[in-house]
Amino acid sequence: MRRSVETLKNIWKIEDLRQRILVTVLFVAVYRFGSYVVLPGINPNLLSQLHKQTSEGLLALLNMFSGGAFSNASIFALGIMPYISASIVIQLLAIAVPYFQKLQREGESGRRKINQYTRYLTIAILLFQAPSYLLNLKAQAGPSLNASLDWTLFMITSTIILAAGSMFILWLGERITDKGIGNGISFIILVGIIARLPQSLFQEVVSRMASPGAGGLIMFLFEIVFLLLVIAAAIMLVQGTRKIPVQYAKKIVGNKQYGGARQYIPLKVNAANVMPIIFAQAIMFIPITLIGFSNAENASGIAHALVDHTSFGYNLVFALLIIVFTYFYTAITINPTQMAEDMKRNNGFIPGIKPGKNTAEYIDAIMSRITLPGSIFLAIIAILPAFAGIFGVKTEFAQFFGGTSLLILVGVVLDTLQQVESHLLMRHYDGLLKSGRIKGRSANMSAY
């Protein structure tokens, strides 16, 4: 306890870190306030049907990502997911389209253009999703929302407001990245997830205690123990590495000797981190957007399977997408050829492997071997909420037993703690942990 208080004092002493934390808190407060600002013309007291609709199924997950703004008919109802969907499309284009490949090689100027195209595509997605959301709102509450409401005018103005709200969230995320604690978009998603935790936890306790056959307090404690085990597994997945030894040849310049030491390249078991789940989840939201939020309950056949997150078909497709996206994102973030060239340039080599092409092939083979079990483990954690629901865990609380919510929570929290610790160590203060340093995701592999 005393060490924790001392660490908090040290954090407050560092002016730059203090300002970044305060700026992050301010932007998060703005985001949370906006999630309760209801669209003009909507009576928030008449949204009981919408709350009921978003209490289970895929819409419950979408509502969690928006921090409850979806069920509140808020100006932030569509959240940050349209931007993530646009990012997926642009990254796929960067593989298939030569023009986008050229932009990627142009450095900072190319990155700015890609970001600009991503924003344009985000707006296009928002202009499609916003009317779908508003039609669902009309279907759930109908004319009881406001008898004097001009629906045509309301659709036009509210579409603009919803699109502007999502773009404002994107701006907040970028400001958190630049002026705050970092990883702004991921942090925005994290805040939305954590905002739903207290209510979900309370509902789970009440449901277990109220029903005689629900297992009571014993069953709830068993759930908490299992949740902690899943969190521990997620932390291991985020931090797991395979180290490759690299021997550096001796180099004598004048009277000084350089190199000669052996170092290790840590290759992450899950180099893509949480991105495959975010990508796959964004894809899985497409069917419910196409058939309309209001028609999700009446869907049949394949459409019903793809909008029911507890169905076998949904989880099978979800798991396969995660495995595919894990390989895809690892391929675009880890470049074995570049790593081999860097080693050769610095007189380094892997013992027993020839420098150059052979080294690149060796690293690629190692990455392929460790990515497969990592992607399967990631997929298993992602579909755990469906199994939790089978055992009677309420939908809201089941989302914390795995999936995007848990891995984002673990990954972003570790990243944030790592950034705070780096500020402390740079100013010669003790770190957050007594033994060892916090290992988060590397900076270039953050979610966003």
Give me the phi and psi of 188, to 5 degrees please: -60, -45
Q: Which pTM value belongs to this model? A: 0.75
Please tell me what DSSP assigns to residue 311: S
Give me the phi and psi of 22, to 5 degrees please: -65, -40
- From first to last of its 448 residues, the chain has per-residue pLDDT tens of 666 777 777 777 778 888 888 998 999 999 999 888 888 878 777 777 777 767 666 677 777 777 778 888 889 988 888 888 888 888 878 877 888 888 877 878 888 898 899 999 999 999 988 888 888 777 776 555 555 567 788 889 989 999 999 999 999 988 988 888 877 888 888 888 888 788 788 877 887 777 666 667 788 888 888 888 888 888 887 777 777 777 776 655 555 555 566 777 788 887 777 778 777 877 877 777 666 665 556 666 676 667 777 778 888 888 898 898 888 888 877 888 888 888 888 778 888 888 888 888 888 888 888 888 888 888 888 888 888 777 777 777 777 777 667 777 887 888 788 778 777 777 766 656 655 555 555 433 344 4
Tokens found for residue 404: 């995007």
For 141-201, list the strands marked E by DSSP: none
Please tell me what DSSP assigns to residue 299: -
Tokens found for residue 356: 């150059």
Q: Check if the beta carbon of residue 227 is closer than 8 Å to that of residue 201.
A: no
Domain ranges of the chain: 2-445
CATH class of 2-445: mainly alpha
Candidates 279, 280, 281, 230; CA nearest to 61 is: 281
b/e map 381-416, b = 16+ CB within 10 Å: bbbbbbebbeebbbbbbbbbbbbbbbbbbbbbbbbb
DSSP letter for each residue of 419-438: HHHHHHHHTT---SSSSS--
- Write the Ramachandran bin of 172: left for phi over 0, alpha for psi from -120 to 50, otherwise beta: alpha
